[in-house]
Amino acid sequence: MRLSRKGRFAVTAMMNLALNDNHGPKTLTELTHDQGISLSYLEQIFARLRKAGLVSGVRGPGGGYCLARPADDITVAEIITAIDEKVPVRDPAMLATLFHADRSPIHAMWNDLSTQIYDYLNRMTLADSVERYHAELASQRVQTGEQHREKAA
């Protein structure tokens, strides 16, 4: 699996939508400010996400984009695959034809790594990522509170 800059931005944007899912749609302008990337670049990303059925657009005042499915039904691998056209084939029969026996064993190693990355990201949902994000925030708040109490003592 190929992890590109565009794929990382797509995952971040989808996380942003998932984190704000209860607050209604977000505009691309809001997302560009949150992510610090250009509007035209984000439009390209969202065109692919929409085509893959991962986001849906809401027109009119208060419109923008929202998740097309629940966050626990969207995997990180789906997002990256929707964005990056050059994701390697995972079919074992096809891989056998791509990696001939006379090729270096390093090809098999890279293929195994790619498969493991894909499998890991295919098990990770947006809901998992949101949960991890909230847990990290809570942990930071606890640490900050402990540091303030130590300074006060």
Alpha-carbon distance of 94 to 111, in angstroms, equals 12
**What tokens appear for 59 in the block?**
């027109």
Eight-class DSSP state of 125: B
Q: Is the pTM of this model over 0.85?
A: no
User: Looking at the DSSP assignment, which residues form a beta bridge with residue 56?
Assistant: 66
Note the pLDDT of residue 23. 85
- pLDDT > 90? residue 60: no
Phi, psi (degrees; rounded to nearest 5) at 51: -60, -35
End-to-end CA distance of the chain: 51
Distance from CA of residue 66 to its chain's centroid?
A: 14
Are 19 and 133 in contact by the 8 Å Cβ rule? The answer is yes
Q: Longest C-alpha distance within the chain, in Å?
A: 69
Give the pLDDT band of residue 28 (cuts 50, 70, 90). Answer: very high
Mean pLDDT, rounded, for 3-32: 90
Give the pLDDT band of residue 92 (cuts 50, 70, 90). Answer: low
From 31-35, 38-42, 66-70, the region with the lowest mean pLDDT = 31-35
Please give the CATH number for the structural domain made up of 5-126.
1.10.10.10
Chain mean pLDDT for the chain = 84
- pLDDT > 50? residue 89: no
Tell which wins on pLDDT, 122 or 140. Answer: 122
